């Protein structure tokens, strides 16, 4: 009976240790920055990977306000990626209207564009480096979507 108790305790300890290991964060952590404001709801976000090692350099977010018809894009760098420049862009279908915000070190945006009833493309770009890494460019641009 004593042997069974120890085996059960050992199995529980191994399971608990496994749970502790699997709960460690394994994803990028974007820095905090501005929001788009009241009435905007997140539509999509996408990790932006650097061109060198493929590590996550930042995240780009698309928000939409149904009452105003405005889209909003914010790009935030990962806490470990040191940027030289960062940008957030949104483009409306049917014309060449492009809204772009750049020049910040931790985030870009909020970048607003009215596109009620039209599709948009959005994206983010970061230029910089990870600690002890070479300078690299990380960029992601969506296809046309979020038509509303």
Tokens encoding 6: 């120890």
Residues 6+ apart with CB under 8 A from 99: 73, 89, 90, 91, 111, 112, 113
CA dihedral over 29, 135, 89, 142, signed as positive or negative: negative
> Block means of pLDDT (10 residues each) for the chain, length 148 residues?
44 40 41 79 94 87 94 93 91 79 81 92 92 87 90
Q: How far apart are the first and last CA of the chain?
A: 67
**Predicted local confidence at residue 1, as pLDDT:** 45
**Predicted local confidence at residue 8, as pLDDT:** 45
Strands (E), 56-147: 56-65, 70-77, 82-92, 98-102, 107-114, 120-129, 136-141
- Tracing tokens 């240790």 back to the chain, one arrives at 17
């Amino acid at each position: 009976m004593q042997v069974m108790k120890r085996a059960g305790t050992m199995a529980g300890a191994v399971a608990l240790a496994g749970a502790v290991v699997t709960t460690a964060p394994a994803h990028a952590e974007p820095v905090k920055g501005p929001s788009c404001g009241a009435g905007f709801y997140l539509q999509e976000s996408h990790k932006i990977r650097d061109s060198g090692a493929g590590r996550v350099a930042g995240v780009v977010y698309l928000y939409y306000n149904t009452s105003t018809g405005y889209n909003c894009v914010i790009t935030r760098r990962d806490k470990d990626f040191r940027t030289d420049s960062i940008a957030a862009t949104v483009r409306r279908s049917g014309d060449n209207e492009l809204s772009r915000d750049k020049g910040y070190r931790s985030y870009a945006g909020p970048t607003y564009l009215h596109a009620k009833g039209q599709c948009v493309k959005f994206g983010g770009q970061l230029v910089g480096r990870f600690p002890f890494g070479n300078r690299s460019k990380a960029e992601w641009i969506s296809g046309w979507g979020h038509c509303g």
